[in-house]
Amino acid sequence: MVLRSWTRAIGLVFATLFSFLGLKSANAQVEDFVKSSNESDAPRIVQNCYFPGEYARVSTRNTDLNVRQTPGGRIVGSIPRGWEVLVRETDRSGRWVFVTSHYGSGSVYFGSAPNFNEGWVSADYLTFLGSYCDKPSMGGRPMNNKGMSPKPFYFMESQLETQVEPQRFSVYEDWTNLGDRISKSLDD
Amino acid sequence: MLISKIHKVLAIAARVPGNRQRFLDAGLLETKTGQLVEHWREKFPNLQPIDKAEIRNSPGLFLANASDVVYRGTTSGSRGQVLTYFAGEEWNRLRVAARMRSLRWWGIDDSIPIVNVASRLQPIRSVDVTLAGEIDEGFLTRLLEVLSVRPAVVRGYPSRLCEVASRLYGKSLPTVLGVIVTGEGWFEFQKSLLERVFDAPFIDEYGCQETGISGLTCPEANRLHLDSDRCLYEVIDGQLVTTDLYNFTMPMVRYCCGDVVELEETPCSCGRKGLTATVCGRVEDTIETSRGRVFSGNVKLPPFPGILNYQVIRRETSIDLILKEVVEKWSDRNLEPLDNWIRHTFGNLEIRYFGKPPSPPEVPPREVLSEKDWISQLTSGSWGDLFDRSLPQGNIAAAAKLLKQAIDPSIISGSGISEATRNLAIAVSQTPTTGNPDIDRTIGRILLFANTVLGGDELLCDRAVEILREAEGDRFSDPTQFDLYLLSLYQKTEKLQSILDYRPCQIDRFNIHHSLYGFEGAIATARNRNSPLTKSLNPLLAIFIADLNFFASRFHTAILASWRELIWNREIWEISRITDADSFLTAWLHLRRAFWKNRKTPEILEAALTKLRETAKTPQEQAKAILETGYVNLLLEKQLDSEFWLTTAMQQSQNLDRTLEKGEFDPLPWSPILRNIAQGFLNGGKPELAYQCLLASAPPSSRVSAFERLAKHCNRKQSPIFEIRDR
């Protein structure tokens, strides 16, 4: 319970950093000096954000935005409202957009977006921000509280003949986290 | 020979449910018997290749054996979610041998360190190290320090190595024997930069671990030689498709790794046999050029004067060029060759130039604790929180830095600890005492901790005892006594035995963190002594950690003595001397002695177990007794009932550890049992549960943890050329 509260607390800290620290300082460094190569008198260099790419913000009303494995397909995750994502691809219909985080989703667990996964989302719920500007910040460190497996595994209880509740587990727990977890019993 | 190898792996793979349908579709199986057909060689080309996504959907369906699991690998996950795969003893042995063989072509033997730089690459041999994290001045200083110890080989993703090389450009470097690039395709300008900065031969390493693919360029002709002994290679629709000839645990047959390759048609002039190839990149990485759509690996990115490192982004109507590091003042004049090259390669598109990306915004440092508060948190607070802060100043500063380096190293060494940390430990040990008992006690304890991480250093240990005697006098406090005796689990220090009084002992948080590292040393000692317990109770480390978790709040020094007996297989004390232990603990101590002393005598083990069950009163003690029953069954080499034990583990996990949240399962105490029951699930037609049991029985490791913490933030791959399709 304490562990979970701690996880939530850190998630909140990161969310705060995302909103205040990262975006402000990143935007402050953006100088919009883009020009086409056939204009020779203007500066040719622009300062870009840390992760070049095309960004969009999740603009659902109240709910998280579902992430799907394929356009219109199975739901594989969700992204909270207000989150900024990196746009990788749009399908032919223009209705579905493949999005990811600037870290990729494979090895990252975001404290304030626990169900984050890369995949296809509906373009109707994205506000496109353009290139080299507003972006998920490095100010908030991706959180992976339990080490290597950012998302917990589940035992497939349905394959068990006996009735037990589903159980989630993690492996390769962070060593310091493990020590802190065991230490909690000293407080009893 | 090759045919018989393919036949062997196909016969095993044919029994795996994940392969059944495609084997049937290919006509490879007798429909009645499920055996390979006699003319399997004719049918093999019909077999539909399989890719990682398909295996990842239901990895258990591809598990053929849950007993021979020596290697547990995880794909990099750079393209999506990770896949954990398993392999056996023979596969692992051949993998290591193949690597050694190809490194020797370049004169890289086991005495030459390979320094993995800024990439998600673990040290493989004991001489190797990994430096990861943000590439800042501190990083570069550490790299130069490591390289100056002795000539070494540098290894990493080319894009990350180029970032490092750009920062080192123009500096005088220690001798580098070679630069190995791996994990990404490389381009001409990268090769040019790396050769210039490191003044060393450029070596291309290609691999896809889960398929058994490995390859290295040869020094004579610079051709990429694929290790044809371990794999059958095919190219289908331009993509590399392989059959791993030695993974009988999770066979990969006609596995499509997603790389586009071109096999060379002529033998290599170096004289080595086997296939040579050119890797063109990932199948999904294509880019529109003036020649049409090509694989991005086929676009030549040449070096340009004055520009060290750059990145090209192809958009629908424009090209973005990011000039990451330049050595000359920018002007239209030195951008002209780039303009020309872009027009030649991509046609007449708008070109937008971008400068060096700014550094990520810094997170303001958290409040620095005073010495007193730091020491207080070290013994009674969260270490996660403590080491997230800046280190304290004052007399404790060097020792605090030592502890930080020991638990959160910036360099991961294959041998366990870096030279810098070793030297810092020596320096701290040579510092005079301060006269402040709290500070001196803490320094003494940190030296003991460093001794543990170093694997035992007599001088360091003696100095720590000296400091602790000065701080505490002749009668050591409980936590200090614990720290001192912990060393005897892995270090031959007979004089420590007399330090221990057998009595209840109030341990602190420092002891708990120290134990986790001490246990690793202890298990390594047991393994070196060929203790049979390391085989029958595998991973033994998990059992020690579970014991600590169970007894931490009611610790007794006899538990330390019991662990020591288990490691050294030697009786060192009389249980009857203990008068102040509760009945459950006394019964547990008797049982644990029987673990090593009577492990072949079921009657004695059973009797000790019965006694333990009788004394178990609380739900936590009852859960512990059940857990110990599982361990005893493993010692007696009984085949455990998979259904019963998995259900029991899931039901008892919360009783055993009440800090767990509802629905949360801690696999650690149960991992030797889970490992054992995996094969039962596989035999019983429940491969997914078998796979999950293997997954959950991952051996705990401080090194994996330290590597993950170091590598997870800043070691992303960055292709120097890619396309963004505009909306």
pLDDT tens profile A2-41: 333 333 333 322 222 222 222 222 222 222 222 222 333 3
CA distance B551 to chain A (A): 9
Edge-to-edge strand order for the sheet containing B318-326? A45-46, B350-354, B318-326, B307-314, B721-723
User: pLDDT tens digits, residue range B416-475?
Assistant: 777 888 899 999 999 999 999 999 999 999 999 999 998 888 889 999 999 999 999 988
Does position A144 have pLDDT exceeding 90, yes or no?
no
Amino acid code (one letter) for B197: V
Nearest-Cα residue of chain B relative to residue A107: B77
Name the minimum distance, in Å, from the CA of B316 to any CA of chain A.
12
User: In A, which residues are within 8 Å of B361 by CB distance?
Assistant: 21-22, 25-26, 137-139
Kindly state the tokens that stand for B442. Answer: 């803490």
Which CATH number do you get for residue A52? 2.30.30.40
In this structure, are strands B318-326 and B350-354 parallel, antiparallel, or unpaired?
A: parallel
User: What tens digit of pLDDT does each residue of B317-329 get?
Assistant: 888 888 877 776 6
Q: Is the same domain home to A43 and A15? A: yes
Q: B588 and B612 in contact (C-beta within 8 Å)?
A: yes
* Residues A46 and A62 reside in one and the same domain: yes
3-state secondary structure (DSSP) of residue B249 = coil
What pLDDT does residue A166 have?
64
> Cβ–Cβ of A169/B549 closer than 8 Å?
no
Cβ-defined contact of A160 to B665 (cutoff 8 Å): no
Q: Which residues of A touch B689 (CB under 8 A)?
A: 155-156, 159-160
- B14-59 pLDDT per residue, tens: 999 999 999 999 999 998 888 899 999 999 999 999 998 889 888 9
> B385 to chain A nearest CA, in Å?
10
Residue A79 and residue A24 share a domain = yes
pLDDT at site B329: 61
| Candidates A1, A30, A163, A186, partner chain B, best to mutate (most B CBs within 10 A) | A186
Average pLDDT of every residue of chain B: 90
Asked if B363's CB is within 8 angstroms of A17's CB, the reply is: yes
B492: number of Cβ within 10 Å: 11
Q: Closest chain A residue to B555 measured between Cα atoms?
A: A186
Residues 6 or more apart whose Cβ sits within 8 Å of residue B402: B421, B424, B425, B428, B446, B447, B450
Tens of pLDDT along B358-397?
Answer: 555 555 677 889 999 999 999 999 999 999 888 999 999 9
Distance from the Cα of A58 to chain B's closest Cα (Å) equals 16
Of A34, A45, A177, Cβ closest to residue B384: A177
Q: CB–CB of B646 and A184 under 8 A? A: no
- Where helices occur in B248-358 by DSSP H, the ranges are 332-346
Q: Which two tokens stand for residue B285?
A: 């990485």
A13 lies in the same domain as A72? yes
- Indicate if A18 and A78 belong to the same structural domain: yes
- For chains A and B, count residue pairs whose Cβ atoms are closer than 8 Å: 228
The answer to whether residues B357 and A50 touch, using CB atoms and an 8 Å cutoff, is yes
CA B83 vs CA A106, B75, B211, B436, B567: distances in Å: 10, 5, 12, 53, 35
* Contact yes or no for A171 and B696 at CB 8 A: yes
Three-point CA angle B443, B448, B454, nearest 5°: 120
* Cβ <8 Å between A178 and B653: no
Q: Between A39 and A178, name the one with better pLDDT.
A: A178
Q: Which range of residues forms the domain containing residue A76?
A: 2-138
- Domain identity same for A82 and A44: yes
Residues B120-124 have a mean pLDDT of 86
- pLDDT (0 to 100) of residue A99: 87
CA distance to partner chain B, nearest, from residue A61 (Å)? 23
Residues A105 and A36 in one domain: yes
Contacting residues of A for B705, CB less than 8 Å apart: 147, 172-176, 178
Do A125 and A155 share a structural domain?
Answer: no
Chain B positions in Cβ-Cβ contact with residue A52 (cut-off 8 Å): 311, 313, 320, 322, 354, 357
Is the CB of B643 less than 8 angstroms away from the CB of A161?
yes
| Complex-level ipTM | 0.91
Contacts of A166 in chain B (CB under 8 A): 663
Looking at residue B723, what is its pLDDT? 83
Q: What is the 3-state secondary structure (H, E, C) of B273-285?
A: CCCEEEEEEECCC
Q: Where are any strands of DSSP class E within B545-586?
A: none
Q: Is the same domain home to A38 and A87?
A: yes
Residues of A in contact with B323 (CB under 8 A): 45
Last residue of a domain, one of A138, A162, A178: A138
pLDDT band at A103 (very low <50, low <70, confident <90, very high): low
Please give, rounded to a whole number of angstroms, the shortest distance from the CA of A81 to a CA of chain B. Answer: 21
Chain A hits for B322, Cβ within 8 Å? 48, 52
Note whether A104 and A187 are same-domain residues.
no
- A36 and A58 in a single domain? The answer is yes
Residue B285 makes CB contacts below 8 A (sequence gap 6+) with B295, B296, B297, B719, B722
Q: How far apart are CA B207 and CA B201, in angstroms?
A: 19
Answer for the pair B46, B254: CB distance below 8 angstroms, yes or no.
no
Please tell me the total count of domains within chain A: 2
Q: Between A48, A104, A156, which is nearest B688 by CB? A: A156
pLDDT range class, residue B407, cuts 50, 70, 90? very high
**A53: closest CA of chain B, how far (Å):** 8
Do residues A173 and A134 share a domain?
no
Check CB contact under 8 Å for A106 and B79: yes
